[in-house]
């Protein structure tokens, strides 16, 4: 029981501690053969943040193959809930308030992809030169923006930026948000922690994704975040979808595609 391979997926990931933090509490998952990618950002300020992010990506990497994207998303949700409960229990055992991690997961299947996320790690898509953020941050700043109390420019370095309202390990029940979207030939997806999105503007991100292949783009974006200050851990996963049949052709029987 394998994965639908209508699109050819190429991807690359990189992560860096940055120029200020003492440890890297981010973790990445780059599994194009399983059409599975993720970024997890351990809760800042906790000595066990790296434990939390690693627990998240390890649980995701262990997911069994399933043919239907909806089933894979449900299994992903269940795995995230399992890690959530384990982190809540571990925090109680250690006597700390929270052991947590943000997460953003991208799953591909047939001609679609699905995303589940909790926190402020993001998913972007570049299509036709236009960069669109597909996720919304689960933090206090996003709430202020939605109410029109601050501008997008004010949000960039707002004091409430790191006040996360949803994360793995933050509460007994995890409620990740999810989306399903169609994939087009040439789509480029970017998963990242806020160590990139807080340092590099969207137009600069778009230019890199449009001009460079995934391995180059991932390294370039990471370096741009470092050059801008690198005030947080930085994680980047760049994914490109290519339709080997051409955008104007239909694959009659996907099950026979090898």
Please write the tens of the pLDDT for every residue from 156-201. 666 656 678 899 999 999 999 999 999 999 999 999 999 999 999 9
Note the pLDDT of residue 108: 96
Burial of 177-207, coded b for 16+ CB within 10 Å and e otherwise, reads: ebeeeebebebbbbbbbbbbbbbbeeeebbb
The SS3 of residue 144 is helix
Q: CATH homologous superfamily for 8-244?
A: PPM-type phosphatase domain (3.60.40.10)
Q: Using one digit for the tens of pLDDT, what is the confidence trace for 65-124?
A: 999 999 999 999 999 999 999 999 999 998 888 899 999 999 999 899 999 999 999 999
Q: Report the C-alpha gap between 212 and 126 in whole angstroms.
A: 12
- Count Cβ atoms below 10 Å from residue 16 Cβ, excluding itself: 20
Domain ranges of the chain: 8-244
Read off the pLDDT of each residue in 12-22 and give the average, rounded to a whole number: 96
**C-alpha dihedral over 96, 155, 114, 25, to 10 degrees?**
-40
Q: Using one digit for the tens of pLDDT, what is the confidence trace for 110-163?
A: 899 999 999 999 999 999 999 999 999 987 666 676 766 667 766 666 665 667
Note the pLDDT of residue 88: 94
The structure tokens listed for 40 are 């997890």
Note the pLDDT of residue 157: 67
Q: Using one digit for the tens of pLDDT, what is the confidence trace for 204-257?
A: 999 999 999 999 999 999 999 999 999 999 999 999 999 987 754 443 333 333
Q: Express as a percent the part of the chain with pLDDT over 90.
A: 75
Residues in the chain: 258
Whether pTM > 0.85 for this model: the answer is: yes
Q: Report the C-alpha gap between 24 and 212 in whole angstroms.
A: 26
Q: Environment class of residue 85 by beta-carbon count within 10 Å: exposed (0-12), middle (13-18) or buried (19+)?
A: middle
**DSSP H/E element including 209:** helix 202-211
Q: Express as a percent the part of the chain with pLDDT over 70.
A: 83
Higher pLDDT, 25 or 147: 25
């Amino acid at each position: 029981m394998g994965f639908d391979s209508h699109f050819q997926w190429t991807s690359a990931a990189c992560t860096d501690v940055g120029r200020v933090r003492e440890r890297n509490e981010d973790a990445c998952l780059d599994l194009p053969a399983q059409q599975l990618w993720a970024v997890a950002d351990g809760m800042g300020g906790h000595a066990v943040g790296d434990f939390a992010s690693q627990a998240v990506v390890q649980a995701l990497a262990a997911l069994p193959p399933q043919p239907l994207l909806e089933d894979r998303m449900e299994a992903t949700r269940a795995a995230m809930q399992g890690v959530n409960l384990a982190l809540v229990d571990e925090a109680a055992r250690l006597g700390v308030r929270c052991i947590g991690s943000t997460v953003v997961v991208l799953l591909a299947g047939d001609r679609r992809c699905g995303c589940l996320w909790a926190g402020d790690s993001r998913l972007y898509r570049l299509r036709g030169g236009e960069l669109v953020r597909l996720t919304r941050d689960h933090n206090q700043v996003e709430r202020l923006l939605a109410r029109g109390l601050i501008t997008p420019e004010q949000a960039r370095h707002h004091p409430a930026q790191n006040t996360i309202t949803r994360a793995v390990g933050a509460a007994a029940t995890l409620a990740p948000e999810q989306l399903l979207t169609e994939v087009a030939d040439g789509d480029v997806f970017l998963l990242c922690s806020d160590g990139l999105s807080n340092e590099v503007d969207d137009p600069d991100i778009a230019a890199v994704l449009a001009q460079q292949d995934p391995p180059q783009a991932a390294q370039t974006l990471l370096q741009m975040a470092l050059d801008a200050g690198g005030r947080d851990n930085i994680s980047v996963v760049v994914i490109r979808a290519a339709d080997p049949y051409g955008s104007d052709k239909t694959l009659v029987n996907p099950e026979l595609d090898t």
